[in-house]
Chain A
């Protein structure tokens, strides 16, 4: 099963039915598959804090929700994470493209990469870093953990993790 199929399948198996996305090149494949999934309502948002508001509303409406975003947006979501998601105890898996790591071609992306883990640690957000293709095997357990403890969780997926995934060949979980 490809990495993208595994991620979408884990969302579906864990009854995540409402997903908002702000695009990233690395996440294009998984976003495309989420859009095509019949079991997931996909709603693109214009900014990540807006997306977290949509997720909070959907969760209160009885639908498990998730957000897909880039790590550069951590800065603009700190207040929303603290005063909405954490304050009201809403579970929120955040599948995050970890730009600015090894293999990054755009220098400016490194500027938020160096703050990413520190900010998540400061916010006491359980954080998982997918570096090898096989790391995706933990995704199912992370989703279960998120909805068990009613917290936001961050899954950082770096360029090495996505390196086997391209338009012609999708990374395969061994």
Chain B
């Protein structure tokens, strides 16, 4: 399974949750598969999905899922100690780990080689770090949602992309629509 297939099988579980989605193809795929006011699409700023998600989770009560990638977490490694030391039990970080920089042409990342993001997250002090295979993503995500505990999911999958259009929504519209939805739920 590749990332877009992982996102597709997760839609029934995450569709009604607040989702912060990573720059590039992940946001474009989520937008194509299931555009919702509860989705915040990053149009730039590689690496900050987990930080935006944590800030959002700490500031309000609703559950937040940040969808990130292995390459993006490598870009913003400092995020893992911050997450570990500021526990928000309404926060789930889903790292879709395909071992490559998908949006830029599938160049390999170190996470696909000798570096284990699961072990890094644990070493940073994160509790509830779950590594799973793509086929187990729905079950693991549902368990994380049911646990009411902050969870880091490292979901291993194959690299590869599908053709998908860029997001043409204006960033201010994305943010305003999302903030209205957040406010409605709090």
Do A and B come from the same complex? yes
| A→B interface (CB under 8 Å) | 18, 41, 43-47, 49-63, 65, 79-80, 82-84, 87-90
The reply to whether the CB of B65 lies closer than 8 angstroms to some CB of chain A is: no
Q: List 11 A-B contacts (CB under 8 A).
A: A18-B55, A44-B82, A45-B78, A46-B81, A49-B45, A57-B51, A57-B52, A57-B54, A58-B59, A61-B57, A62-B183
Cβ–Cβ contact B171 & A88, under 8 A: yes
Q: Which of B49, B172, B179 contacts A60 (CB 8 A)?
A: B179
Please state if A53 and B51 are interface contacts (CB–CB under 8 Å).
yes
B-chain residues with CB within 8 Å of residue A89 when the two chains form the complex: 171-172, 175
Q: With a CB–CB cut-off of 8 A, which chain A residues contact B57?
A: 57, 61
B interface residues with partner A (beta carbon < 8 Å): 20, 40, 42-45, 47-60, 76, 78-79, 81-82, 86, 171-172, 174-175, 178-179, 182-183, 186
Contact in complex: A49, B60 (CB < 8 Å): no
List the B side residues contacting A58 at CB < 8 Å: 55-56, 58-59
B52 / chain A contacts, CB cutoff of 8 Å: 53-54, 56-57, 60, 84
Q: What's the dominant secondary structure at chain B's contact region?
A: helix
- The distance from the CB of A75 to the nearest CB of chain B, in whole angstroms, is 16
Residues on B with C-beta less than 8 A from A47 are 76, 78
Within the complex, what minimum Cβ distance (angstroms) separates B78 from chain A? 3
Known contacts A54-B82, A62-B182, A49 near B47 by CB under 8 Å: yes
Q: Tell me the complex Cα distance, A89–B175, Å.
A: 8
> Nearest chain B CB to A64's CB is how many angstroms away?
10
Question: How far, in Å, is B25 (CB) from chain A's closest CB?
Answer: 16
Question: In the complex the two chains form, what is the Cα distance from A47 to B49 in whole Å?
Answer: 15
User: Chain B's nearest CB lies how many Å from the CB of A154?
Assistant: 19
CB distance from B123 to the nearest CB of A (A): 15
Given contacts A57-B53, A60-B178, A61-B59, is CB(A43)–CB(B86) below 8 Å?
Answer: yes
> Which residue in chain B gives the minimum CB-CB distance to A86?
B171
CA distance A26 to B14 in the complex (A): 45
Bound complex: CA A55 to CA B58 (Å)? 10
Q: A57-B53, A58-B55, A60-B40 are in contact. Are A87 and B171 (CB under 8 A)?
A: yes
Interface contact B55-A61, CB-CB below 8 Å: yes
Please give the distance in Å from B40's CB to the nearest CB on chain A: 7
Q: Is the CB of A55 within 8 A of B55?
A: yes
| B46 (CB) vs chain A CBs: closest residue | A79
A84 touches B45 (CB 8 A): yes
Q: Chain B: which residue is nearest A57 at the CB level?
A: B55
